[in-house]
Amino acid sequence: MNKQALTSISYGMYIIGTRDGERLAGCTINTAMQVSSAPVVIAVCVNRSNYTNECIKRTGSFALSVLSEDNTAKSIGIFGFQSGRTVDKFTDCQLTADGLPVLKNGICAWLSCRVVSSIEVESHTVFFGELTDAETVETDFPPMTYDYYHKVIKGKAPAAAPTFAG
């Protein structure tokens, strides 16, 4: 089986943010999509071993920063290759009206959601969140795709990513 075929599926690049009490938590993800329109529900996929997963389960909410192509490998790496259990990843963020962290720079939009359902699938949890707030950010750059992340930024997939092919 050639798992490289999975790279042909379109993915975006996102930072998902949540809270653990007063502490902000988040990680890089590449699996998010709109699944309904009335109400608007967004599905995201987060590895069960991630601290962010635990926090979303406790708080019942998350915010999604939609990365633009002017985001950097360093920024993505901060959220993708270290744990929020020991590192404050959100040193440069803003809070949504719901009090959830989103990036200030390198994004083209953000979405804030209240979890309405979830499903455990193998190593990941799929969270379904009803949209509570959203905003576009003025930028000259389009949303970053996973393909752009790999080919232009030369980024790697961490083992906790649902797309990790080993």
pTM of the shown model: 0.88
Integer Cα distance of 48 and 142 in angstroms: 30
Look up the domain containing 73 and give its range: 11-151
Asked whether the predicted pLDDT for residue 90 surpasses 60, the reply is: yes
Rounded CA-CA distance 141/59 in Å is 32
Is residue 159 domain-resident?
Answer: no
Paired tokens of 30? 């590449």
The CATH number for 127's domain is: 2.30.110.10
Q: How confident is the model at residue 159 (pLDDT cuts 50, 70, 90)?
A: low
Count structural domains, the chain.
Answer: 1
